[in-house]
Amino acid sequence: MSMQLSSPAFTNGERLPDRYTKADANDQPELIIAGVPEEAQELAVICHDPDAPMPNGFTHWTLYGIPAGTEQIPMNAEKQFRPGTNDFGDIGWGGPLPPEGHGPHHYDFWLYALDSPVSGMPDRETFLRDYGAHVIDQSRIIGLYER
């Protein structure tokens, strides 16, 4: 696996700045992509909080329709790519908003390189079930946040 994901908004394993949270401006962080396999046909991004007090964690973002040659997911990526539903019930980015006093939560930003395009706007569980066998590479960075 050689694909890399990074962000100028935060450092892997460090705290997400408040502006990217639902408690503040709810800005979507910019992401930088490198090392996408040549055989990739499409990329997908999912931001998931495994620490949320729910059976399957909490999905903050699903983004599809990203061409394999993409090197940057800019702020307001929903205008350029195909956002899906988050667990807030909204389309697009829904920043962190963990329960107060629940401790630090990990926000896993997953980048998937696929050998086939994604149809529609599946939720995280549907994407992983239907497209897991089509993932040829993956990478992630983790941001932390607590209230």
Could you report the per-residue pLDDT of 48-104, keeping only the tens digit for each?
999 999 999 999 999 999 999 999 999 999 999 999 999 999 999 999 999 999 999
Closest CA to 92 of 71, 67, 75: 75
Q: What is the 3-state secondary structure (H, E, C) of 49-109?
A: ECCCCCCCCEEEEEEEEEECCCCEECCCHHHCCEECECCCCCECCCCCCCCCCCCCEEEEE
Q: Global pTM? A: 0.96
> CATH: 3.40.718.10, 3.40.50.150, 3.40.50.620, 3.90.280.10. Which one for 4-145?
3.90.280.10
